[in-house]
Structures are given as structure tokens and as C-alpha cells.
Structure 1
Amino acid sequence: MDDGRVLTIRDLSVEIRRGERVIRPVSGVSLSLDRGETLGIVGETGSGKSMTGLAIMGMLPAGGRVTGGSIDLDGEELVGLPPARYRAIRGDDVAMVFQDSMTALNPTRRIGEQIAEPVRLHRGASKREARGRAEEMLALVGLPRPAERLDDYPHQLSGGMRQRVMIAMALACEPRIVIADEPTTALDVTIQAEILDLLDDLRSRLGMSMILITHDMGVIARHADRVGVMYGGRVAETGPTPVIFRRTRHRYTHALLSSIPSLTHDRDEELFSIPGTPPDLTVLQEGCPFAPRCEAATDRCRQERPELSAEEDGHTYDCWHPASGPATGERARFTTARLPLPGPEEPPRLRVVDLRREHPAGGRRRTVKAVSGVSFEVAAGETFGLVGESGCGKSSLGRMLVALDRPTSGEVIFDGEPVSGMSARALGPRRTQLQMMFQDSNASLDPRMRIGTILREPMAIQGVGGRAQRTARARELLRDVGLPEAVLERYPYELSGGQRQRVGLARALALDPKVLVADEPVSALDVSIRSQVLNLMRRVQLERGLSSVVISHDLAVVRYLADRVGVMYLGKLVEIGTTEEVYGAAAHPYTAGLLAAIPEADPDARPPREAAARVRGEPPSPVDPPSGCHFRTRCALATEVCAGTEPPLRAVTGTHRVACHHPLRPVAEREGAWS
């Protein structure tokens, strides 16, 4: 075996039996990993990425087995290995960082015990030695006060901290290979950047090799040395990262790169999206699995499996009609003209005045300050974006906007009338005009109801029309969101994630609302499906003249949908302005940090190195926020005045305001600048 090669996968195939059904998630996969290298495996959900990682670990789900091929770990064949030998390898030579740290960690055991366990099993360490190693690993992954954290349970830690614990557990025995399966999917962009930088640093310091599994091409561009693009259980294209991005050959890779929304995208153009859905892996595939979704497909593509083509520098692909260069993607322009926004003299559709929301935190006098004095306005037909890390109060604010929660103080004024303090009876007729699109479409749709019933339900509750009229309206709504009428008779579990999100939007539009609040509407979707849903939302905005509030921690999504943006941190708005102002000339160090942490799908792009542009650590607790400026504990520009005085929102321009003692651009010094 080559001295530089630590893992070689040849023609690997996996099948999973579920009763009479046979799923083939991996079909003829060949990949390799060199010592000290990071191999990125990328593709949509269902492409076979995670199943390939589980096959390497010998952890296939019930009914799963390797049906062919080879997995060679440094000269040792893993396929067919006795269970006892596999247990000795797993965690010692090869370890895995799982996607969901909350379910991967045992909720009944302290984290120190869980990190110490592999050290005791594989290295024969005593209980005391293993605990010392656990503390050492927590310090290595940057967890504050590691000795104190050893006795914490997983639920006592934030998402970023739990992910660091997962990494500490995986690296405790210094394995040769670590497999990171979507290690940052559920994390904010700032924490994601820290975790991925940490993995890079530890890989280099410990001399490990890493397989990074993700659907985010930006993560791949910044952190992988080589890339394997998977589709339909097969490897479509492999090669060095710069080559894959600059000399894209496979049509699927080309389409995947074209689907990524960027911070420079023209909002009058639709995002490129891949039509259709990934293949059914229970059906034997003939030809190229991407052919049904490929604009360049011919009869040959549908009938014959493409031959593997190889170029210099290790670039391989299987495509009958390869692309000729970097992805650009044809993008249609929106045909619906944007309705003109009302002038400043006209009253806003939605007005939020000093809104606050506090709730008990388990103790008598301890309260979570979820929202602390937020004020802004949304005009008729305008889309307002709310961005910020998890726990900053975005979702709490969104629920108060549609009167699902009552504020502790302050007001939500809709069309000139306060709705936040109304009784349920008085609020009833107005609730039809305030609707919400929830983050988790799977949880927000009743699994016992057919889609037709789900869409008719809000109309039935409000007494709108008869059953025939409601059914006709449900059909119309499905057409509006790009779904066939046959979906009316299906249950939510029979739909894909993108289809369920479309149903969620259709239900929110059923009563013709004037205000729509969309809470993380595409966070759980693949990049191609996300583009479809975002295009749909943008089209609905233009056609209906809705006033919308889009809540997200994905700044590219908000830039595409929003006319104005508010940046929240620990319950407060720290910056507000037009999309062009906030994204083009961020005035608050926190906003600049959010923008700097976005992974660009460009291997040549480098994150800014200026201290002011890097947000470190995790947000403080909303139970006991820092004095003065809440952001000062993570800000490189903080001074004594930041600790003693809370900065008010003040004007940068006529429409751009920032709450910062040391803004990143001069604040207008004129009468009336302070708000």
C-alpha cells in the first residue's frame, strides 16, 4: 500500500432491507484518503454521504450490510472483519463526530464520563487517568473551565459546547481518521466557523486525516483538500478542491454550485434551482442517475451508465456531456414587477414599539430576557429581515408579531390598531391577517391529516365558504406553490422536505394575510430545494404585496428576500438599515462578524483577518446579560465605556442606525441623530 494513503475504498456497495423493500444507498463508491488530508464528501440528502461514513465505521443501521467492494484501512481490510476486531478499531483508529450532538450524547451520563469511556476501553487507563484525559481534551477543544464542565450533563451545554464535547470524545484516543458527519449543520454561522477552524487545527496538530461530510459547498471550499461529489449513491466527480470549483465537469456538480445564493446575487433574478427530486434508491437505476434532472441529458444518458473519465491532477467524473468550466447557472428574471412601497408619510402596516418578553428561568427571581426593548416598522409590501445567532430572541419576537405570544410590555400595532393586548375574542377576526410559516414543516403539519384537510382547516375555523369552495381554494393554493393537485390526498410523511415547506407556505396564505412571518423557512433544506422555496417566497412577495418578516441566521437568505434588515443580539436590535446598507457597509462589529463567518463557495476566498471582523466564543446567557453593551464580552473593540453604558441606536445615515460606541464607520453628527 502507498505510504501516503491511509484509507482506500474500492467499488463499495451497501443495501438496507426494510421488509420487502431493498434500499441501495451506496452503489460502487470508490474514494481514497491520504495522511493528514481532509476529504470533503458533498451532495444532497439521500446521496449516500452519511451511509458511506457509517460503512467505514461498521455502524450500518439494522438491516444494512456491505454487499460488495473493499474498505482498506492502512493495509487492513475492514469488510467482513470480526465484530471484536471492529470494536477495537472503532474509536481508536477511526472515530466519528455525529451530526446531532444532542441525540449522540447520552443524556443520563455526565460528559466527563462519556469522554473518558473510550480512553478506558482502548487504552486501559484507570478511572483517574481517563478523567484527567477528558479534562485535557475539553481544554484542547476550547471549552471554558474544563474541570468544572466534566460533571455537567449534555442538556446543560449550548449546541456549540455539545459539538465541542463530541469532538473531544472522538479525538480522545488520537485516531488516525476522524469522520465529521455534518458537524455544524444545526449551528449558527459564527459557531460553525469556530468548530470547523478547530477541526482543521486539531487535524494539523494531531496529524490526523479527516472525512468532512456536508451539503454546504462553502464549507467544502474553505476546509477540504479534495472533494468527492455524490449523487444517487454514486460518486459523480472527485478531485482537488480548487479543480472541482474552477473546472467543474459533472452536470450535477455544476448545478449544485449554481444553486448557492450569494451575497452579491441580483435580487431581481431568480436563484438557480435543480428541477425534480433525487432518485428513489429502492429502484435499480439504469444510465446516469442525474439524467431525469439534467438539462443536457440525452437518450444515451438515460440508458447507459457514463464511463469514468480522468484528467490530470486526479480529477475524475462520469458524465456523457461534461460541463466546460466553472458554474454560472442560467437564472430567469422575475416577470412580476415589484409593487411600489408606500411613501414615508403613509402609516406602516406593522409597527413594533419597545417590545419586551421575559419568562421565568426556573428560579423565583431569575428570568430569561428573550426580547428587550425592540422597535421597528414594516411598510405595506415590504420584507423585513431579522438575523442573529440562536437565542438572540428572533423567534420569540416573531411569535409576538402574529399574537401567538403576549409581550411582557410594549406593543405590536397592526394597521394602526394595537393587537398585542387584545383578548382572544377581539383578536379572532384580525388573526386571519397575521400568519406564520414555521421552521419545522414536519412538526407543524398534523401527521394524521391529509394535505387537503390541513389546507382547508384554517378556512373552516374562520367560516370561509363551504367545503367545495375550500377545496377549490386548496387546489388554487397548491398551484400557487408549484405542487400538483394529487398532493391533496397525501399525508405529510409522503412528501419531501421541500414539498412540506411549500405546503406550510400554502397554509399560511390560505386566508390571504397582510403580514407573513417566516421563521427559518429553509434552514433544514438542501441547497437545491432551498433555492426552489426561496424563489417561490420571493414570487409570492411580489405578486401579493405581502408585508413579511423573514427570520433566519442565514445572511444570504435574508439578503435575497429582505428590503430592510435588523440585526439582533441578546434580545436587542444592534443594527438596522436597508439591505444594501447593512450588507455593504456594516457598522456594528457583530454584523461584520456574522458576514465574515459566511463560508463562500470559492476556494480562493479567505475570511477577513481583522480582529474587529472575528466573533469569538458563544453568546452570554440571556438570564444574566453583560452590563452596558451586551456584545462587549466578544468584541475586540470593547473599552470601559462599553461596560458602563448601554449604547443607544443612533443614525449612520437617514435609514441606517447602529447601537455601538465604536462603530465601524463614522456616525452622523447632526441634530436628531440619537433615537
Structure 2
Amino acid sequence: MSTADGSENARGPADADRVLSIRDLSVEIRRGERGVRPVSDVSLVLNRGETLGIVGETGSGKSMTGLAIMGMLPAGGRVTGGSIVLGGKELVGLPAAQYRAVRGNDVAMVFQDSMTALNPTRRIGDQVAEPVRLHHGASKRAARRSAEEMLALVGLPRPAERLDDYPHQLSGGMRQRVMIAMALVCEPRVVIADEPTTALDVTIQAEILELLDDLRSRLGMSMILITHDMGVIARHADRVGVMYGGRVAETAPTPVLFSRTRHRYTHALLSSIPSLTHDRREELFSISGAPPDLTVAQVGCPFAPRCDAATDRCREERPAPSVAEDGHAYACRHPVSGPTARVRSRFATPPAVLPEQGAVPRLRVVDLRREYPAGGAGFLGGRRTVKAVSGVSFEVAAGETFGLVGESGCGKSSLGRMLVALDRPTSGEVIFDGESVTRMSARAFGPRRTQLQMMFQDSNASLDPRMRIGTILREPLAIQGVGSRAQRTVRARELLHDVGLPASVMERYPYELSGGQRQRVGLARALALDPKVLVADEPVSALDVSIRSQVLNLMRRLQLERGLSSVVISHDLAVVRYLADRVGVMYLGKLVEVGTAEEVYGAAAHPYTAGLLAAVPDADPEARRPEGTARVRGELPSPIDPPSGCRFRTRCALATDRCAGTEPPLQAVTGTHQVACHHPLRRGDSHS
């Protein structure tokens, strides 16, 4: 007889391969008089050598399930029911001393944020060696030798030299490799990877996930991969568990889940994902409403309030799971079937068109450069500087959206801050409506500041936690002397309406809002003074896929309705593809390719652009990269001492001596498409 996790109750051959079994797991966290049930009646199994993906929105219970397995629940947290069996040993109720012997030895965890998970006061070698000393009783010398071997195994460059480094001396990708080395150094049976690549660029993400796959195979481990990225799941998981409201909504082998989705939440989640081939004239599908409040006891199907097929029975009774012969289990009374595509509505306003020849651009950037002191002396005793932006030029027409893509550290955010005069360039100019913003005095620029606004990446940090939302929205109007207090209040309500929030939000503080709601408030504040140019820096990078699609649709709609000129900065190529008319690809402070979105995405001419596109995970397990297409590998060189000639040459398979000696200028591929490369790709070309 089958159960909701797709396993079998009767003992049989499958049990010999079972490494981890979770049955009816429930977790409660008490905070004073309030209690939260982040995990309720969860059942999952993990087999030997398998990768089980767990997906769902923030608050669905993914990470809390992983922490329960590790015995690392937060203060006030406890398992209130169910069973966790690892290698035949029951972990629920295990004494703390015995649990410490299991944690790190039999089961280990790779955490999401390596910078906070690693101890900043201890050397890398000591941190990786510590589990070997604790669990295997190794000597200091033997443990250090094991640490070096494991750092080499995870691909850390020059591991012997890195043993004495501190975390802050490593890049994000290197720190994540150290985290993986710490988790695997004792060769555990199970490794739990909790959002291991969320904070990384698409290129580093692909390397880390491939590394985990390779190590799992070589060391004979099983893995639980927790993520909200369905593309990552499609490419790297053998089976998938979809969680919602602290419960398992659906489980299935990966190909089955993507081709024959049954639960309406899974169907909606997959339909919300922006793709590189999405028609920009159509809105992204988005899930209405918000995830359930887990401080309130749930009755019925937790997805019912957001489901367009829900009935009174769905709202009153929890659906029993149904299980098919292929192990596909789902808890839904009105299942769907077939492909995940949904009918999407079209924007009422047609997309912005490219500027006419000879039209005066709304924003013009001319040879913009920005260098920051780096400390210490450089070659021949000169002053060392970080060359964040190195001679960037482009134009943005009225009503046009220009996208900037590239890896972290390429200068995108530094450029964005200069566009809105939050930072002054070392040289070059920003020209707005024919006037040089860079050459203006602060007094002369004052009236112009209202026309150049920025939407920041971290809405939690950019909104004053001491102010109510109404005050936050009125503040820019008050500073500019716009209207009376009553008029400013009316304007604040209008702004909230424009971004899809109720007027009642005005009386709340930022911490009382969800991430998606705060991002909408950030957009409303940026639009308060009716700017002509909006710079959006990673506007949806911290949001779940369902909330992301809502915010992206909102931004796209407001751009079209208001005729805004926008610069959208992101390392998410699908986001830029959806929002931008034209795209600029940045690498180490320079633009290496510029063109229409169709040209850059459909016929990339620079090997770096082609490599970025090849690394984007596709939410389709059957999708394969074109034969011969090479991803970008290796670490980004230091902007303090960038490579001579073409800055990308140290990571390029096509590089020649000419690339080392001569810097390639931007040259025309077509009338609207430019590339800075000595060996540009032609349509249909690939490189390896």
C-alpha cells in the first residue's frame, strides 16, 4: 500500500536503499504566548545516491524540515509529532549528546549564507578540519591534511595556501566551496543543501550545483536540495517534494512532476516562472494572494484561499493524498494535468518602441568611469584602486527600458548609483534631457533630482523601520514642498493603489509587511515625484517566484502606462529579458555587448554573453544546452588589477595573443547590435 510520500508501507527491496525516512513530522515554535506550526504532518523519503528536491515559497516549511532533521530548530522550536529515521536510527527524542555524534558525521548541512555560517574569526583550515577532529578523533596535523584534501576535491584554487585565509578574503563562490568542504569532510550519508546558490551569480551557481552532483556520485551520498528555483530542481533533482503552508502538496519523480503536474499550487508555481523565450507583450502568470499565516490553525486545503478551483469542501476539509503507481502523490481534490502553460493576458498598452534615428535621448552616458581607493601600494608604488566602471557609454530613449546584466562585481550597481547622482564619477558624464548632471552644482541639480529615482535591491534596508508606510511615501513630497499634508496623504493612497496595495498599509511599519509588499512600497516611493528615469537595482532578486512575477508585471505595466525611461540592473537574465527593450552586458567594468533584447538573447555575439545564457537553469528536465556551448567558468578577476587587453580573455576558450595585447572596442554587428570581441560569435556558432 502506498503513502503520500510515494513510498510503500510493506517492507521490500526498496527499504534496503532507503537512507532517510520522515513520517508525519510536525514542528512547533513557541514565542511567548504565540505558537507557529511551520511543519505539519510531513512525510518524505530519501534513497541511497538520490537527490530529493524540496521546493515552495518562503514560509512553506522547506528549511524548517531540514533543520528538524539536523536537530537544529531555533529557540522555542520542538518536534511535536512524527518520526525521522536516518540509517535505521530514530532521531526524534535522541539525547543531545547522541545527536551531536550524528550531526556533521552522518548528516550534514550546506547553509544558504556562507558569510554568516562561517566563523569570521577563524581560519578556513581550522573550520574545515574541526568536524574530523570531533567525530573521528584525528590529530591536528591529520585533520589539517584532510581539510586540504577536501578543499582540493571541491575545486578551491591553491587549497594549501587557502588553509590560513579568513572567510572575508574569499569570494562568494570560494566561500560556498568551503561550506561544502566542511559539510562533506566526514563523508556523511546525507547532505542537506539549503538554498546553496541563492546569493550567487548564474555562472557560479552552475559550477556549485555540478560540484554537488559530482561529489554525491563520487562519495556515494544522498542529498536533499532545498530551493525555490524550479530550474535548479529540473536539472539536478531525481525526485521532487513541493511544500505549501508547512505541508507536502505533491511529490513525484522530476520528469513526472514537470510533465504531468497534478496539484494546482505546483501548476501555478511552474506557470509563474519567467523564461528567456517569454513574449513580452504578455503578462507573467502570478498567484494571487499570499501564503497562509502559520500562527493560525489551518482548516481544509492550505492553498484554497489562492486557488481558482477551490470549493467549500476544499476550505473545510483537508484533502487526502492520492498516489499513482509511478510514485506520484498529490493532495488536491481538483487536480490538473498536462503542460504547465497558462493563458496569460496581454498588456493593454503596446510595448515601448525603439527610438527614432536622430531623436534626443532621455539619458546619455558618456565614457563613465569610477575608481575607489583600495588601500596599499600598487605596481611601482602607485596608489591601488578598484576600477569599478571603466569607460561605459550608452543611451536610453524616452519610454525605453535598458537592461544591464553581468556577474556580481562587474560594476552594474556602481553605474546605477552614478546615473541617479548618488555617487560621482571619477570621469565621464551623465547627460539627462540634454544637460550634464555630472557638471551641475548640488544647488543646480536639486530640482533635477526629482526626475531621477532609484528602486533599491533590499527593500528591508532601504525603508526606515521607524516610519510608518504613509510617512515614508509622504517624505519625498514633503522634502520637495509638494502640496499640503492632506494632499500628500491623498497622493500616498494613490501610489499604494497604483502598486496594488490597500490604503490600510499606510498605518503599518515595514517589518509588518511581506517581502513582496515592501518591494511594492519601494517602487511606490520611487514613483512618488513622477520621475522621468527609474533605475531599478536587482528589484526582485530576494523574492519568491510567485511574488516576483507580480512585481515584474507591475513594473512592466507602470513603465508602459507612464512612459518611464528605465535602467534595470540584474544578474537574472530572464528578468531583464522580460523588462528590457535593449540590453547591455557588463564584464569587469566594461560593456562587452549591447543590442536589442532579441539580438542579445537570440544571437549573442560575445562568448561571455553566450556563456551566461548557457548557465541559466531551464525549468524543464528534458531541456539540454546546445551542443558545444560552453558556460563561463572560473572566478571573476580582481577589478584592482584587471587583465590586459580583453578583460574576459582569462576565462575565454577563444582567447588568442591578440586578445592579451589589444583591448577590443565596441563594433557594430548590425545597426543596433554592438560587440567588443576580437573573435565574435556568428549566428549558429558555438564555442567549447
TM-score computed with the length of structure 1 as normaliser: 0.98
The one-letter code of the counterpart of 1:375 is: S
Aligned match of 1:45: 58
Q: Distance in 2 between matches of 1:148 and 1:626?
A: 22
Aligned match of 2:516: 498
Are residue 313 (structure 1) and residue 314 (structure 2) matched?
no
- 1:451-490 Cα shifts (integer Å, max 9, x gaps): 0000010011111111011111101000000000001111
Are residue 36 (structure 1) and residue 49 (structure 2) matched?
yes
Q: Distance in 1 between matches of 2:298 and 2:228?
A: 23
Aligned match of 2:614: 596
Q: Distance in 2 between matches of 1:74 and 1:366?
A: 55
Note the C-alpha offset of 1:341. Answer: 4.8
Q: 1:643 aligns with which of 630, 653, 660?
A: 660
Aligned match of 2:471: 453
Are residue 391 (structure 1) and residue 409 (structure 2) matched?
yes
Aligned match of 1:103: 116
Aligned match of 2:313: 300
Aligned match of 1:26: 39
Q: Distance in 2 between matches of 1:222 and 1:420?
A: 46
Note the C-alpha offset of 1:621. Answer: 0.5
Q: Distance in 1 between matches of 2:161 and 2:473?
A: 51
- 1:44-98 Cα shifts (integer Å, max 9, x gaps): 0000000000000000000000000000111100000011110001000000000
Aligned match of 2:552: 534
Q: Distance in 1 between matches of 2:83 and 2:627?
A: 43
Aligned match of 1:615: 632
The one-letter code of the counterpart of 2:282 is: E
Give the alignment of 1:309-348 within 5 angstroms: 309-338=322-351, 340-348=353-361
Q: 1:190 aligns with which of 182, 203, 207?
A: 203
Q: 1:213 aligns with which of 226, 232, 235?
A: 226
Q: Structure 1 pair 107/231, CA: closer, same or farther in 2 (3 Å)?
A: same
Aligned match of 1:250: 263
Q: 2:185 aligns with which of 172, 179, 184?
A: 172
Give yes or no for contact 1:550–1:558 (8 Å, CA) kept in 2: yes
Q: 1:561 aligns with which of 575, 579, 585?
A: 579
Q: 1:442 aligns with which of 438, 447, 460?
A: 460
Are residue 467 (structure 1) and residue 480 (structure 2) matched?
no
Q: Distance in 1 between matches of 2:60 and 2:618?
A: 22
- 1:606-660 Cα shifts (integer Å, max 9, x gaps): 23452x5221111000001111111111111111111111111111111100011
Task: Name the SS for the 2:556 alignment partner.
Answer: helix
Give yes or no for contact 1:652–1:666 (8 Å, CA) kept in 2: no
Q: Distance in 1 between matches of 2:174 and 2:429?
A: 36
Aligned match of 1:202: 215
Aligned match of 2:302: 289
Note the C-alpha offset of 1:666. Answer: 7.8
Aligned match of 1:672: none
Aligned match of 1:73: 86
Task: Name the SS for the 2:376 alignment partner.
Answer: coil
Give yes or no for contact 1:154–1:162 (8 Å, CA) kept in 2: yes
Aligned match of 2:538: 520
Task: Name the SS for the 2:375 alignment partner.
Answer: coil
The one-letter code of the counterpart of 2:186 is: C
Are residue 241 (structure 1) and residue 254 (structure 2) matched?
yes
Q: Distance in 2 between matches of 1:412 and 1:666?
A: 34
Q: Distance in 2 between matches of 1:125 and 1:422?
A: 66
The one-letter code of the counterpart of 1:190 is: T
Aligned match of 1:633: 650
Are residue 369 (structure 1) and residue 387 (structure 2) matched?
yes
Note the C-alpha offset of 1:421. Answer: 2.8
Q: Distance in 1 between matches of 2:176 and 2:219?
A: 19
Give yes or no for contact 1:341–1:380 (8 Å, CA) kept in 2: no
Q: Distance in 2 between matches of 1:226 and 1:127?
A: 40
Q: Distance in 2 between matches of 1:312 and 1:392?
A: 50
Task: Name the SS for the 2:677 alignment partner.
Answer: coil
Are residue 426 (structure 1) and residue 439 (structure 2) matched?
no
- 1:378-397 Cα shifts (integer Å, max 9, x gaps): 00000000000000000000
Q: Distance in 1 between matches of 2:75 and 2:609?
A: 46
Aligned match of 1:54: 67
Task: Name the SS for the 2:198 alignment partner.
Answer: coil
TM-score computed with the length of structure 2 as normaliser: 0.96
Give yes or no for contact 1:113–1:131 (8 Å, CA) kept in 2: yes
Give the alignment of 1:649-660 within 5 angstroms: 649-660=666-677
Q: Distance in 1 between matches of 2:75 and 2:439?
A: 53
* RMSD of aligned Cα (Å): 1.0
Q: Distance in 1 between matches of 2:337 and 2:193?
A: 32
Query: Number of matched residues?
Result: 666
Note the C-alpha offset of 1:330. Answer: 2.4
Q: Distance in 2 between matches of 1:58 and 1:10?
A: 16
Note the C-alpha offset of 1:339. Answer: 5.2
Note the C-alpha offset of 1:151. Answer: 0.6
Give yes or no for contact 1:588–1:659 (8 Å, CA) kept in 2: yes
Q: Distance in 2 between matches of 1:389 and 1:319?
A: 41
Aligned match of 2:504: 486
Q: Distance in 2 between matches of 1:341 and 1:417?
A: 22
The one-letter code of the counterpart of 1:633 is: T
Q: Structure 1 pair 341/638, CA: closer, same or farther in 2 (3 Å)?
A: closer
Give yes or no for contact 2:604–2:683 (8 Å, CA) kept in 1: no
Task: Name the SS for the 2:267 alignment partner.
Answer: helix
Q: Distance in 1 between matches of 2:88 and 2:352?
A: 66
Q: Distance in 1 between matches of 2:189 and 2:483?
A: 66
Task: Name the SS for the 1:96 alignment partner.
Answer: strand
Q: Distance in 2 between matches of 1:91 and 1:341?
A: 56
Aligned match of 2:16: 3
Give yes or no for contact 1:406–1:421 (8 Å, CA) kept in 2: no
The one-letter code of the counterpart of 2:607 is: P
Are residue 136 (structure 1) and residue 154 (structure 2) matched?
no
The one-letter code of the counterpart of 1:322 is: P
Note the C-alpha offset of 1:665. Answer: 1.2
Aligned match of 2:281: 268
Give yes or no for contact 2:352–2:581 (8 Å, CA) kept in 1: no
The one-letter code of the counterpart of 1:3 is: A
Give the alignment of 1:78-97 within 5 angstroms: 78-97=91-110
The one-letter code of the counterpart of 2:671 is: G
Are residue 581 (structure 1) and residue 599 (structure 2) matched?
yes
Q: Distance in 2 between matches of 1:97 and 1:338?
A: 43
Note the C-alpha offset of 1:538. Answer: 0.2
The one-letter code of the counterpart of 2:175 is: R
Task: Name the SS for the 2:192 alignment partner.
Answer: strand
The one-letter code of the counterpart of 1:579 is: A
Q: Distance in 1 between matches of 2:39 and 2:357?
A: 58
Q: Distance in 1 between matches of 2:42 and 2:170?
A: 38
Q: Distance in 2 between matches of 1:337 and 1:595?
A: 27
- State the identity as a percent: 86
Note the C-alpha offset of 1:423. Answer: 1.9
Q: Which runs of 5+ in 2 are unaligned?
A: 1-10, 378-382
Q: Distance in 2 between matches of 1:608 and 1:8?
A: 38
Q: Which runs of 5+ in 1 are unaligned?
A: 668-675
Q: 1:152 aligns with which of 165, 178, 187?
A: 165
Q: Distance in 2 between matches of 1:141 and 1:544?
A: 50
Q: Distance in 2 between matches of 1:281 and 1:267?
A: 36
Aligned match of 2:131: 118
